[in-house]
Structure 1
Amino acid sequence: MNPCMSMKFEEKQSMDQYFEQCILEHGRSLFNYIYSLVRHKQLAEDLYQEVLISAYLALPSFEEKAKVKNWLFKIAVNKCRDYWRKEKSANRFWEEKVYLYVEDKNMIEEPEESVLHKCSDDEMVNTLQKLPEMYRDPLLLFYYHNQTLMEISHLTSIPVSTVKTRMRRAKERLRPKVEELVANG
């Protein structure tokens, strides 16, 4: 066998043994740390495996052997952050982009929408005009101009969460007035 190859094989063996020893020493506390961050056992197990794979692959470039525990925990935090970013991105779809797909007329209308469609446009616009502008504009853009929450956010330069809050508060203010219109109409 070539001496150079035997040296690399021995280095690889010692590296594997070192990694195994690190996991024996710090594996349990590493898993507990990940679990404390995500609070879900199966997710913690998955992230733990990802951390081990990343650490194993990066081990040859790791130089400060004395700080291996800190290094493993840093990888764990980064893996958790990556997971949270992906999760947040997925949730953002349901919070914001789902409105782009709600154009099917066969879907059941929200109560506010059905009331808005039942009332005459003139009466409704007059009722809406009584609202402060910050509440009136998002409702007009959403219900009368068919803008999505994201589009309203871009048009008004306010966050989507603020648009949602203003729409909810506007509906709360409108509800008694619209009930009067429906009762009298």
Structure 2
Amino acid sequence: MNESIETYFEACVCEHGHALFRYIYSLVHHKELAEDLYQEVLISAYLALPSFNEEAKVKNWLFKIALNKCRDHWRKEKTAKKFWEEKVHLYTDGMSTAPVPEEECIQKCHQEEVEQQLSELPDIYKEPLFLFYYHHQTLVEISNEANLPLSTIKTRMRRGKEKLLPKVKQMSL
């Protein structure tokens, strides 16, 4: 990049940097996270500066980049939260001791009961759930294999879980 672009960018940061940081902080309410996102915004803006439309206002452009970075962060955070809600049980804690034989037997019986309840679901719900939880395929892989849109697979997964949940709860009573 030439020196005039760098000088222009530096002037923009000097003029709008403080307001940009306050804006990001108002969205995320966490100082360290706001600092990280601020750095990401500046990097993205610097890299995209040659394609910047001079007719647009720089401040609006920077704030739009900041909003998009915050949305990306929230999306990642939501995915991580979903991991803990749905998948963390698949991993074992390295510090835990091996389950006693009775617990293993109970877990195996419970898993067999869940598999039985799963097998009783209609095929459109059973197949994506089975591929996701037992064959560890991603939703995209299931979508490609079934030759169906990803949104259809997501809907079938949600509906399948909704149909399976009361049956599983009933088993544990």
Q: Which TM-score band applies after superposition, normalised by the shorter structure? A: 0.5 to 0.7
1:10-159 equivalences under 5 Å are: 12-64=2-54, 66-101=56-91, 106-107=98-99, 140-141=113-114, 154=129, 157=156, 159=158
Pick closer, same or farther for the CA change 1:107–1:36 going to 2, 3 Å: farther
Cα distance, 1:82 vs structure 2: 1.4
Aligned 8 A contact 1:141 1:152 in 2: no
Cα distance, 1:99 vs structure 2: 2.8
Q: Distance in 2 between matches of 1:56 and 1:78?
A: 15
Q: Larger Rg: 1 or 2?
A: 1
Cα distance, 1:170 vs structure 2: 4.3
Identity %: 56
Extract unaligned runs of 5+ from structure 2.
120-125, 131-154
Q: 1:148-183 CA deviation, whole Å, 9 max, x = no partner?
A: xxx7983794628x649x55x947xx76xxxxxxxx
Q: Distance in 2 between matches of 1:66 and 1:88?
A: 32
Cα distance, 1:84 vs structure 2: 1.6
Pick closer, same or farther for the CA change 1:152–1:40 going to 2, 3 Å: farther
Q: Distance in 1 between matches of 2:99 and 2:16?
A: 54
Cα distance, 1:60 vs structure 2: 1.1
Deviates more, 1:47-56 or 1:91-100: 91-100
Pick closer, same or farther for the CA change 1:19–1:97 going to 2, 3 Å: same
Secondary structure of the residue that 2:71 maps to in structure 1? helix
Amino acid at match of 1:159: R
Aligned 8 A contact 1:153 1:163 in 2: no
Q: 1:9-47 CA deviation, whole Å, 9 max, x = no partner?
A: xxx222112111111111111111111111111000000
Q: Distance in 2 between matches of 1:107 and 1:87?
A: 32
Secondary structure of the residue that 2:57 maps to in structure 1? helix
CA RMSD of the aligned region, Å? 4.4
Pick closer, same or farther for the CA change 1:13–1:157 going to 2, 3 Å: closer
Amino acid at match of 2:61: W
Pick closer, same or farther for the CA change 1:27–1:94 going to 2, 3 Å: same
Q: Distance in 1 between matches of 2:127 and 2:97?
A: 21
- Which residue number in structure 2 is paired with residue 128 of structure 1? none
Q: TM-score, normalised by structure 1?
A: 0.55
Q: TM-score, normalised by structure 2?
A: 0.58
